[in-house]
Amino acid sequence: MSRAVVRTVAILVGLLLAAFLPAGPALAGGGNCITIGQDLVVPEGETCSGDAIALGGNLAILGTVGGDAVALGGSAQVEGSVGGDLVVLSGEALLGSNAHVGGNVIALGGVLERQAGAVVEGDLLASGFPPLRQDADRPPLSGWLRFGGVLLLAGLTFGLALLLAVALRASWPRRTRQMVEALRRAPFVSLGAGLLSTLLLAALLPLLSLLLAVIVVGVFLLPLLYALVWLFYMAGLAVAGITLGRLLLREEERPRPRWLAPAVGLLILTPLTVLPAAVEPFWGYGLALLAPSAGLGAILLSRVGTLAIAGDGGVPQGAEPIG
């Protein structure tokens, strides 16, 4: 087993153990420095001989870290030296002019900033979005520019979800009908199942991302992982759009073009999905996930359209294999 794999497993075990410990100062174990729910600072002139891990807090390295430096759910600022890799998930990575990283620098779900003079001996990988907050030293975006970005995002979301909805109805008509019926008959159960799946995914995705990020081969699989997650939620939004459109147009009473019901439903749901996250980055993301999570829950309850949901309680009444 390679050194990277061993180190990654050790980090993951440390994170899992740390999840059961209360928030407190840095924990030392085998030379590792770990903080839970607060910031971790390696002061100038001091050394953390092992890995430096900040779980749910920011990481500042002014001194020396002998192993890897990991910030999970926070930002990382390096003004000193890191002997291994620098991995930042859902935060910003800032490499100061005196920074030295002996391995790779990986920033997922945030922004990577590298000042002149910073040395990185490995590769750079950044995949994410601009910072949600506006720093004081950055010029604010104009209102029209922000509005244009939100409008573009809403248009792309609507178009892709509509294409997926039409493709589902054309390729899997009976399965799609079962998924829609599951959401129509058991909306709250579907929403609950989708939200539970979202919480489980939120807990596992960072750890899986960290595992893939530190392993060299896994770096190339990270885009595929996030693409699959995005596809699942787009499918959930498509199912929710079809369901809402069918109810509004009463499609059961009068046949309509295949694209019309999802178009009507998505015209309503897309702004409710995009706008909250654009206006308020914190609670807005929760609101944005409601419609996709409800559709995702219906997909799971119906077992991707292979199981009929009978009754308002949403309890499966025996399997009904589809095609």
pLDDT in tens, 151-182: 888 899 999 999 999 999 999 999 999 999 99
Q: What is the pLDDT of residue 154?
A: 86
> Is residue 316 within 8 Å of 322, Cβ to Cβ?
no
Q: Helical H runs in 172-317?
A: 173-185, 187-214, 216-219, 222-249, 260-279, 283-288, 290-301
Give the residue from 127, 158, 186 where a domain finishes.
Answer: 127
Q: Is the domain of 120 the same as that of 159?
A: no
CA separation for the pair 13, 231 (Å, rounded): 30
CA separation for the pair 204, 152 (Å, rounded): 30
Residues of the chain with pLDDT under 70: 1-30, 109-110, 127-147, 210, 212-220, 278-284, 310-323
Give the residue from 127, 160, 195 where a domain finishes.
Answer: 127
Q: Is the domain of 117 the same as that of 152?
A: no
> Is residue 249 within 8 Å of 260, Cβ to Cβ?
yes
> Is residue 250 within 8 Å of 138, Cβ to Cβ?
no
Q: Is the domain of 212 the same as that of 111?
A: no
pTM: 0.60
Structural domain includes residue 107: yes
Q: Is the domain of 173 the same as that of 98?
A: no
Q: What is the pLDDT of residue 170?
A: 93
Q: What is the pLDDT of residue 77?
A: 93
What's the domain count of the chain?
Answer: 2
CA separation for the pair 192, 148 (Å, rounded): 34
Nearest to 211 by CA among 316, 303, 106: 106
What tokens appear for 185 in the block? 């008959």
Element (H, E) at 107: strand 105-108
Q: Is the domain of 298 the same as that of 165?
A: yes
Looking at the DSSP bridge assignments, the partners of residue 86 are 69, 105
Task: List pLDDT tens digits, range 125-154.
Answer: 776 544 433 444 444 445 566 667 778 888
Give the residue from 127, 157, 182 where a domain finishes.
Answer: 127
Q: What is the pLDDT of residue 24?
A: 44
Domain that holds residue 21: 3-127
> Is residue 156 within 8 Å of 148, Cβ to Cβ?
no
Q: Is the domain of 186 the same as that of 109?
A: no
Structural domain includes residue 134: no
What tokens appear for 29 in the block? 């174990």
Q: Is the domain of 310 the same as that of 227?
A: yes
Nearest to 164 by CA among 78, 218, 240: 240
